Amino acid sequence: MAIPIPADSPFSLANIPFGIFSTKSQAHPRPGVAIGEHILDLKVLALEGIFTDCEVTFPSDVLTHTTLNAFAALGRPTTSAVRAYIQSLLSQSSSPLHLNHSLLNRCTVKQIEATMHLPFDIGDFTDFTSSKTHAKNTHSGHGHGNVDADMFHPPRAASGRVSTILPSGTPIVRPVGHLPTSASPASLEDLSPDTPVESRTLARTTGFSLAPTNELDFELELAFFISVPTEHFERVPVEKTEDHIFGVVLLNDWSARDIQVPETLPFGAFNAKNFASTISPWVVTLDALEPFKIAHDIRRVPSYLVDKGDATYDISVTMEVIPGRLVEREVAVARSCLRNSYWTFRQMLAFHTLAGCRMRTGDLIGTGTLSGEDTTSLCSLVEQRKHYPNRMFLQDKDEVVFTAWCGSPQGGIGFGECRGVVLPARL
């Protein structure tokens, strides 16, 4: 192996996830693949003409761009061949990476020395609701007595905010929102000594004030990126959807529950979610996930969404909160999996194009919170607190860490981490 790979690395030769990184010495973001504890700089390889020996001919300048959009838009036959060629560069003793030490040095960066960026220029972001448990736990008050019938026929999804999608590691400032004065210990009066008396009075009169959320939460999700765009008013059938999916990342759909409650009906969360969503920086391709395909449980689905065979993936996800303050408390943990999603990636994409909605390269589609029935698999604090009331909503300096994995730690592939630390509100 041209680059050493620790046995328990999420980024084994079987993985080869794509991302966009920069370094102190070269601040320009550029494409790379993660391998062990290193990054292989694809821009260096492209500029050296190394990809001319790849079995498919493609414009290798796409690997010098600041996003993966142009590369992913080439389509799966090409991107799969490029990934396979990178695997051969790393593993074959006759490859330039083995024979040319200068090249190897120039195209190898330690992950710890790199800054990761968003992998794609994201045009639109959509988030589905896919977990029956999450739906039961969070939407039972909205007239959904029968979650199965009501929440999944038709599937439910919403557009989300793109401007605040962040790469893992970006701190999250506790959001401020429109909160009922009585429910909020930090009322307007407490917050800002120089608020005009007139405004304070109005806040009391209306019963609402501007206050930092007391119920900051996470939602543990997976999400996939679109590769080849679709035409406007083109419906993509379930069996053709994989032609349009590049790969998968972890997604933290940060949520402020007390801001969410009054604004939820009839349009769903707005300021309660639009302040931040964090994704893991390495995009695990469908090719890497292929060995982990499994049958999707038979579920009641409309005819246009029937998805047979090995339609989903055996992806495990975990979350933990690393407490920022050394007070004794019960910290939140969970372990779940993609199987808890009612819908497969393929069904989500097919449904999304049903009315003719156009998909562009780099569009991001989230699964929704992946909570399972078991109380150890609840993927948000608002759900965990129903069973573990001592688990507090996120405190300042708390860090939330998600991971995901397919197969065993030895021989499997990982997604790396999706992290974010909470900073105090700005008042």
* List 106, 117, 136, 200, residue binding a copy of itself (CB under 8 A): 200
Span interacting with a copy of itself, options 242-250, 278-286, 341-349, 359-367, rule CB under 8 A: 359-367
Residue 130 has what DSSP assignment? -
Contact 404, 168 (CB under 8 A): no
Residues 33-72 that bind a copy of itself (CB under 8 A): none
Nearest residue (CB) to a copy of itself, 272 versus 337 = 272
What residues form DSSP beta bridges with 405? Answer: 316, 414
CA atoms within 13 A on the CB side of 4: 2
Bridging pattern class, strands 172-173 and 413-423: parallel
CA 49 to chain centre: 33
Question: Residues near 420 by Cβ (< 8 Å), separated by ≥ 6?
Answer: 166, 168, 169, 170, 171, 172, 252, 254, 276, 278, 399, 400
User: Nearest CA to 414 among 222, 282, 295, 227?
Assistant: 282
Q: Could you say whether residue 88 binds a copy of itself (CB under 8 A)?
A: no
Among the residue ranges 74-82, 92-100, 241-249, 260-268, the one whose residues contact a copy of itself (CB under 8 A): 260-268
Of 33, 74, 86, 203, the one binding a copy of itself (CB under 8 A) is 203
Q: Report whether 127 belongs to an annotated binding site.
A: yes
Check whether 369 is labelled as a binding-site residue. yes
Q: Is 87 annotated as a binding residue?
A: no
Q: From the CB of 6, what's the least distance to a copy of itself, in Å?
A: 35
Contact 364, 121 (CB under 8 A): no
Residue keyed to tokens 């090719």 = 287
Partners of 328 in the β-ladder: none
Identify the CA nearest to 325 among candidates 241, 424, 212: 424
Binding to a copy of itself (CB under 8 A) within 119-178 occurs at 123-125, 129, 139, 142-144, 153-154, 156-164, 173, 175-178
- Which H or E element spans position 91? helix 76-91
d(CA 425, CA 113): 30
Q: Is 221 annotated as a binding residue?
A: yes
Cβ closest to a copy of itself, residue 50 vs residue 359: 359
- Flag whether 217 is marked binding: no
Kindly report whether the peptide bond that precedes residue 59 is cis, defined as omega within 30 degrees of 0.
Answer: no
Ranges assigned E (strand) in 36-89:
38-41
Q: How many residues bind a copy of itself (CB under 8 A)?
A: 70
Binding mask 274-313 for a copy of itself (x = CB under 8 A): xxx-----------------------xxxxx-x-------
Are the beta carbons of 177 and 211 closer than 8 angstroms?
yes
Q: Which stretch binds a copy of itself (CB under 8 A): 19-27, 310-318, 358-366, 391-399?
A: 358-366
**CB of residue 24 to a copy of itself, shortest distance in Å:** 23
CA distance linking residue 212 with residue 31, whole number of Å: 38
Output the six-digit token pair for 340.
């808890």
Catalytic residue among 134, 244, 296, 352: 134
359 touches a copy of itself (CB under 8 A):
yes
Check whether 310 is labelled as a binding-site residue: no
- 134 labelled catalytic: yes
Q: Give, as ranges, the residues between 382 and 421 that touch a copy of itself (CB under 8 A).
A: none
Rounded to the nearest whole angstrom, what is the least distance from the CB of residue 177 to a copy of itself in the complex?
5
48 vs 124, beta carbon nearer a copy of itself: 124
- C-alpha 75/C-alpha 292 separation (Å) is 21
Does 113 carry a binding-site annotation? Answer: no
Amino acid identity at 19: G
Among candidates 162, 244, 219, 229, which has minimal Cα distance to 368? 219
Q: What does the block give as tokens for 127? A: 């988030």
**Which of residues 223 and 359 has its CB atom nearest to a copy of itself in the complex?**
359
CA 258 to mean position of chain CA atoms = 23
> How far is residue 175's CA from residue 256's CA, in Å, rounded to a whole number?
8
* Among the listed residues 264, 293, 375, 417, the single contact to a copy of itself using CB under 8 A: 264
Would you say 396 is a known binding-site residue? no
Site residues for a copy of itself per CB under 8 A? 123-125, 129, 139, 142-144, 153-154, 156-164, 173, 175-178, 188, 195, 198-200, 202-203, 206, 208-210, 232-233, 235, 256, 259, 262-268, 270-272, 274-276, 300-304, 306, 351-352, 354-360, 363, 426
Residue ranges at the known binding site for Mg(2+): 253, 273, 277
Residue ranges at the known binding site for substrate: 260, 369
Residue ranges at the known binding site for Ca(2+): 127, 219, 221
Catalytic residues: 134
